[in-house]
Amino acid sequence: MQITFYGVRGSIPTPGKEFVRYGGNTACVHVALNDGTDIILDAGTGIRLLGKKLLSKTTPVHVLLSHNHWDHIQGFPFFAPIFQPDREIFITPGIVHDGNTHAVLEQMNGSLFPVPASALASIIQITAKPVQTCQWACGDAVIKRMPINHPGGGVAYAIQTSNAKVVYLTDNELYPPYKKSSDFLTFVEFCRDADLLIHDAQYMLSDMPAKSGWGHSVAEEAVKLAMASNSKQLALYSHDPERTDNDVDAIIEHCKIFIEAAGSPLSIFASAEEQSLSLPNH
């Protein structure tokens, strides 16, 4: 499978000269399976560029949403395939506390966005899976999901083929002050032996306790999860809008020091827009 990052920023888009290397678009990752299936994780502003690239195809698109916070759905009205006649777009909403499965289309209501969802030329199907923990087949992959710790709720996804596994676990607070949906060891099992773990790392230990309860993890805890689950690579994700490129570089250097000190073979990088990698990574 081929993984390409299109949006790696948390909370709000961050244009500007200090955010060029990692990028300022909000959450969106493309997973291209070897059988040609296109899976999209979240529909933040990064999905706009991905949509332009997918216009050359006519095959169905599978969009998996973690939750409805705006930075995860706000790019959808600008996703060009939704205007392609008869293009099939299958959306799996995240399970959220208010039960809203259609927020991604409700933002296209004529008031928040001029083109109403009812006027789109594509064929959009939103299929809510009944429970947070379930699995289903998609192309030559099996998709699993589990609840995350986040205000308002949400889910993580694991996509596994015969030879590769990627886990998308963002907007997740590993150690929240509120009641957990999932505990650390459950996350460890979910991520077990991943070729790539994409995990929220919006904060640093130094941001705490001020940001405790905001629904994001600190980078050091994401590293701990990656090592405990024997993940091969960790992509730090959902960069804080206040972190410049140089700040993100510093976080990576900080994390590398204690990965090395732990004697772990884990490879770590900070996800960046249009960065692409194939799995498994031999």
Instruction: For the CB of residue 240, give the shortest distance to Zn ion in the complex, in Å.
Output: 13
Give the bridge partners for 131, in sequence order: none
| CB nearer Zn ion, residue 81 or residue 157 | 157
Q: Which stretch binds Zn ion (CB under 5 A): 12-20, 74-82, 133-141, 171-179?
A: 171-179
| CB nearer Zn ion, residue 12 or residue 55 | 12
d(CA 213, CA 175): 9
Instruction: For the CB of residue 13, give the shortest distance to Zn ion in the complex, in Å.
Output: 14
- Provide the edge-to-edge strand list for the sheet that holds 135-138: 135-138, 141-147, 155-160, 165-169, 196-200, 233-237, 267-270
Q: Which stretch binds Zn ion (CB under 5 A): 164-172, 179-187, 217-225, 241-249?
A: 164-172
216 binds Zn ion (CB under 5 A): no
| CB nearer Zn ion, residue 139 or residue 147 | 147
| CB nearer Zn ion, residue 42 or residue 195 | 42
Contacting residue, 9, 69, 165, 239, with Zn ion by CB under 5 A: 69
Q: Where are the beta strands (DSSP E) in 94-138?
A: 123-126, 135-138
Instruction: For the CB of residue 154, give the shortest distance to Zn ion in the complex, in Å.
Output: 7
171 binds Zn ion (CB under 5 A): yes
Assess contact for 190 and 172: CB atoms under 8 A: no
- CA-based nearest residue to 57, from 75, 40, 72: 40
| CB nearer Zn ion, residue 32 or residue 63 | 63
Residues whose CB is less than 8 angstroms from the CB of residue 114 and which lie 6 or more positions away in sequence, other chains included: none
Instruction: For the CB of residue 192, give the shortest distance to Zn ion in the complex, in Å.
Output: 25
Q: Which residue is nearest to Zn ion (CB)?
A: 69
Residues whose CB is less than 8 angstroms from the CB of residue 132 and which lie 6 or more positions away in sequence, other chains included: 95, 145, 146, 147, 155, 181
173 binds Zn ion (CB under 5 A): no
d(CA 50, CA 6): 7
Q: List contacts with Zn ion (CB under 5 A).
A: 69, 171
